[in-house]
Amino acid sequence: MSNVKHKINIENWLALLHTPGVGPIKFMRCLEKDPDLKSLPSMARPDNRKVSKDLEWVCNNKAAYIIPYCDSRYPNTLKQIYNPPPVLYVLGDATLLNKPQLAIVGGRNATKLGLEIAYSFAQQFVKSGLIITSGLARGVDSAGHRGAMQKGKTIAVAAHGLHTVYPASNEDLAREILRHGCFVSEYSIGTQPLAARFIQRNRIISGLSLGVLVIDAGLPSGSLSTASYAREQNREVFAVPGAINNPKTRGCHMLIKHGAKLVESVEDVLEELANLFNCDIRDNNCVQGQHKKLSKCLNGVQKKLLNCIGEQLVNSDKLLTMMQLKSNELSASLVQLELEGLIKSVPGGYMKKKG
């Protein structure tokens, strides 16, 4: 199949994925023992019907991809999270996955002002070289997707198989996203949208992104789980405040009370990301990891970290000890080195890229 690297036995990956009782954690343990999954473990009793359905989907859709964890197209930022999906299903422009992303999430029943902010901010962020990532939900998510597509690209992360669109009311928006971005899911073809899957999906939205911007989140709100995942993953959390008596923004106020950066303008986000990654986020070449003068993009800590990562596997715990950094500082530096194409994330740690 032309969509998948010929060295990867995608049938084995899907067979293990569709073996009852094998979740992402158990899958990764199997991967550590056999990085290429050249042969299935003896426990594997796959659901061959699901395997066939996935393969048929790829063959019948020109822009459909099944991307295993070891594939070079698998997003580097997602490899750094706890419990990363072993396989991603992608429909659309898969090259966007490894480009710097900002998540915009919020309430489904957002205020008119909240929708305007999501749309306008997304427009401005993509001009700075960022991809806008969200969940295709009504309200803030949809406004963020639409704003991004005016001047740039967007990624929608689904909580179901990519054979369908949810909510159905967003079918027109989904068609636009296919022209200006891509859909991503960890769920196989035929998987239906269930409530628990939306919460699980949110860890991918935050995991793909450098930071999460929350707009018009009430209490409770599903977007707060995205912010919670972002904190666990050492991503930046941003929140737009609202009126103190507006129940639709109480979730944003709670995030700000607990350390999220208060956002009044696009510059608030861009400056914070620039400080974190020691590089002007508005310099598109630098943001996209294509800067020719790397020494100007990497600070002393990042250069020292690069020297600590050789061609032998080294895990993040060892790097924390060697570098004497806080976990969020280490994570930010690792993301920068991966975006520059200097290191790669592999099962169990990091290695320097050859060449």
Q: How far apart are CA 2 and CA 281, in angstroms?
A: 35
2-27 mean pLDDT = 77
Tallying the residues shown for the chain, one arrives at 355
CATH number given to 289-352: 1.10.10.10
- Residue 313, both tokens: 């596997």
Q: What is the pLDDT of residue 290?
A: 31
pLDDT at 295: 39
Domain spans, the chain? 10-94, 99-277, 289-352
- Which residues, in sequence order, are bridge partners of residue 67? 88
CA-CA distance, 318 to 44, in Å (whole number)?
Answer: 33
Q: Please give the average per-residue pLDDT across 224-231, as a whole number.
A: 95
Averaged pLDDT for residues 282-295: 38
pLDDT grade for 5, boundaries at 50, 70 and 90: very low
CB-based burial label for 238 (10 Å; 0-12, 13-18, 19+): buried
Cα separation, 336 vs 277, whole angstroms: 6
Q: How far apart are CA 232 and CA 37, in angstroms?
A: 29
Confidence band for 291, pLDDT divided at 50, 70 and 90: very low
List, in sequence order, the alpha helices (H) in 298-349.
300-308, 316-323, 327-339
How far out from the chain centre does Cα 79 lie? 9
* Residue 355 binned pLDDT confidence (cut-offs 50, 70, 90): low
- At 157 the three-state DSSP class reads strand
Q: What is the pLDDT of residues 271-285, one digit of tens each?
A: 888 876 655 555 443
The DSSP bridge pattern shows strands 101-106 and 211-215 to be: parallel
- The amino acid present at 149, given as its one-letter code, is M
Question: Largest alpha-carbon pair distance within the chain?
Answer: 60
Structure tokens belonging to residue 200: 């699980």
Choose the CATH number for 99-277 among 3.30.1490.100, 3.30.1300.10, 3.40.50.450, 3.30.43.10. Answer: 3.40.50.450
pLDDT, averaged across the chain: 87
The per-residue pLDDT for range 154-186, each reduced to its tens digit, is 999 999 999 999 999 999 999 999 999 999 999
Q: Taking 50 as the threshold, does the pLDDT of residue 213 lie above it? A: yes
Identify the pLDDT of residue 81. Answer: 87
**3-class secondary structure, 353:** coil
Sheet holding 101-106, edge to edge: 64-68, 87-92, 181-185, 154-157, 131-134, 101-106, 211-215, 236-239, 261-262
Place of tokens 């769920």: 187
Q: Would you state the pLDDT for residue 281?
A: 54
How far is 117 from 122, CA to CA, in rounded Å?
8
Q: Report strand pairing: 343-346 vs 349-352.
A: antiparallel
Phi-psi region of 263 (alpha: psi -120 to 50; beta: other; left: phi over 0): beta
pLDDT at 319 over 90: no
Q: For residue 151, what are its two tokens?
A: 């001047």
> How sure is the predictor about 204, in pLDDT bands with cuts at 50, 70 and 90?
very high
